[in-house]
C-alpha cells in the first residue's frame, strides 16, 4: 500500500527512526555507507560455492538500527586495524598434480581446466568432515573455506577446516557470502571478528551473487550493489593488508560488475563454458569450473577450481599477495 506521506518526509522519518529494518534501506535504494572509492578506475590485474543458502538471514536486523555503531568487541577489533601488510610467507609452495574426477564433466574446448597446473577447492559445512591430507594428495593446492555470511552466521566447520587445511599443506583463505539486506560495514566487522589475520593466508574473498533461497529478496540497483561492495572491500583491505578477491556468478556479474572493479582479482564461476566466453575481456585469477567434483577425502561432491598460471606464476602471486 502506498504511503500518503511525501517521499521527502518519508526519508526524514526513516532517518529519525534509525533505519530500523534492512528492507527500508534497500527499498529506498539509499545507503548510509559511503566511500570515495566506489568503482575506482585502475589498470587490470595480471592474470587470475557460493551457491549455498545464506543462513544468517533474519538475525542481522539489530545491526541496522545504529549504522555507525558496532558492538564493543567489534569496535575493539576495528580500532586495532592497521594498513600495514602482514609479513610475507617464505619458502616455495609444492604444487601437487590434480587427480580429481567430475560427476558431470564438461568439454570446455581447447582450453581445459586440466591444462592449468595449480588446482584447488572451495568448501563449507556441506562437505562434512574432510580428510585434508587425502584431499591434498589428490591435488588440492589451495582451498577457499566458507567463513561467514551476513552479520551473524559463522560456518560451523570453518575453524576446523581453517586449521586442518593449513596443517595439510594447502594455501587457504576464507570467503564471506554477502547478504543484501544488511549493512556492508557490519558484515565486514563480522568477518574480521571471525577470520584470523595470519601469515600465509590467501586474500579474503567477497562472494556476491543472488541467493534465490534467501529470505532477503532485495535486488538493489547496480550502483547500490557496487557501493555496498566497496565499503566491504575497503574495510577488509585495511584490516588484512591484502586486496580482497571478488567471486561472482555469470548473471550477477553481467548485471552489476561488468566493466567495474578492474583493479581487483576475480574468481569466476563458469561451469558450462570457458571464462573467455562467459566473461569476455575479464582477467581472472581463479576459475571455478565444476560444482560436481569427486575426490578422496571428501564424501559427496566438491567445487573444483584452477589458478590462472603455471607453478612459477603461482609462487610469485603468493609472494605478492599472501601474508
Catalytic residue status for 122: yes
The Cα-based distances of 277 to 45, 87, 217 in angstroms read: 19, 38, 29
Average pLDDT (148-169) is 97
Higher pLDDT, 316 or 76: 316
- What is the model's pLDDT at position 1? 54
Can you give the residue ranges of every domain in the chain? 7-321
pLDDT at residue 99 in the model: 96
pLDDT band, residue 67 (cuts 50/70/90): very low
Q: What is the pLDDT averaged over residues 57-65?
A: 32
Which residues 6+ apart lie within 8 Å of 229 measured at CB?
178, 184, 206, 208, 246, 261
What share of the chain in percent tops pLDDT 70?
Answer: 72
Model pLDDT, residue 214: 81
**Do 197 and 176 contact (CB within 8 A), yes or no?**
no
pLDDT-based confidence at 72, cuts 50/70/90?
A: very low
Selected residue with higher pLDDT from 72 and 182: 182
Rounded Cα distance, 231 and 67, in Å: 13
State mean pLDDT over 60-81.
34
**Considering only the top CATH level, what class is 7-321?**
alpha beta
Does 71 have pLDDT greater than 80?
Answer: no
Q: Which residue has the cell 560444482?
A: 291
- Quick: pLDDT tens for 258-303: 999 999 999 999 999 999 999 999 999 999 999 999 999 999 999 9
Could you give the dihedral angle defined by the CA atoms of residues 153, 154, 157 and 160, in that order, rounded to the nearest 10 degrees? -170
Give the chain's radius of gyration (CA, Å).
20
Catalytic residue among 26, 49, 57, 122: 122
In this predicted structure, which of 5-14, 72-81, 239-248, 312-321 has the lowest mean pLDDT? 72-81
Q: Is the pLDDT of residue 2 over 80?
A: no
On average, the pLDDT of the chain sits at 80
Beta bridge partners, 177, equal: 149, 207
Please, where are the H alpha helices in 168-303? Answer: 184-194, 222-240, 250-252, 275-278
Pairing of strands 119-123, 302-307: antiparallel
pLDDT tens digit string along 291-320? 999 999 999 999 999 999 999 999 999 999
pLDDT at position 115: 95
209 as an active site residue: the answer is yes
User: pLDDT tens across 23-43, in order?
Assistant: 334 333 444 554 433 444 333
Amino acid at each position: 500500500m502506498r504511503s500518503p506521506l511525501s517521499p521527502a518526509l518519508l526519508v526524514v522519518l526513516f532517518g529519525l527512526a534509525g533505519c530500523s529494518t534492512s528492507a527500508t534501506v534497500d527499498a529506498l535504494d539509499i545507503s548510509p555507507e559511503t566511500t570515495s572509492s566506489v568503482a575506482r578506475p585502475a589498470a587490470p590485474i595480471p592474470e587470475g560455492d557460493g551457491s549455498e543458502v545464506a543462513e544468517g538471514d533474519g538475525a542481522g536486523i539489530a545491526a541496522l538500527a545504529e549504522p555507525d555503531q558496532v558492538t564493543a568487541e567489534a569496535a575493539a577489533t576495528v580500532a586495532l586495524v592497521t594498513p600495514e601488510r602482514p609479513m610475507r610467507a617464505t619458502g616455495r609452495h609444492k604444487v601437487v598434480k590434480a587427480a580429481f574426477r567430475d560427476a558431470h564433466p564438461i568439454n570446455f574446448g581447447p582450453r581445459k581446466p586440466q591444462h592449468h597446473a595449480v588446482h584447488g577447492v572451495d568448501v563449507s559445512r556441506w562437505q562434512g568432515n574432510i580428510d585434508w591430507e587425502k584431499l591434498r594428495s589428490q591435488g588440492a593446492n589451495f582451498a577457499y573455506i566458507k567463513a561467514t555470511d551476513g552479520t551473524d552466521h559463522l560456518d560451523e566447520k570453518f575453524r576446523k577446516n581453517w586449521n586442518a587445511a593449513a596443517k595439510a599443506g594447502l594455501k587457504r583463505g576464507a570467503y564471506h557470502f554477502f547478504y543484501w539486506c544488511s549493512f556492508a560495514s557490519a558484515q565486514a566487522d563480522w568477518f574480521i571478528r571471525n577470520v584470523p589475520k595470519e601469515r600465509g593466508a590467501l586474500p579474503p574473498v567477497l562472494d556476491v551473487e543472488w541467493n534465490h533461497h534467501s529470505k532477503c529478496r532485495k535486488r538493489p540497483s547496480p550502483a547500490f550493489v557496487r557501493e555496498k561492495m566497496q565499503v566491504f572491500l575497503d574495510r577488509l583491505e585495511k584490516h588484512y593488508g591484502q586486496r580482497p578477491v571478488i567471486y561472482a556468478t555469470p548473471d550477477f556479474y553481467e548485471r552489476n560488475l561488468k566493466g567495474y572493479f578492474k583493479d581487483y582479482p576475480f574468481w569466476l564461476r563458469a561451469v558450462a563454458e570457458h571464462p573467455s566466453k562467459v566473461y569476455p575481456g575479464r582477467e581472472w585469477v581463479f576459475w571455478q569450473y565444476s560444482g560436481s567434483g569427486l575426490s578422496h577425502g571428501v564424501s559427496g561432491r566438491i567445487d573444483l577450481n584452477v589458478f590462472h598460471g603455471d607453478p612459477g606464476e603461482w609462487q610469485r602471486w603468493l609472494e605478492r599477495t599472501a601474508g
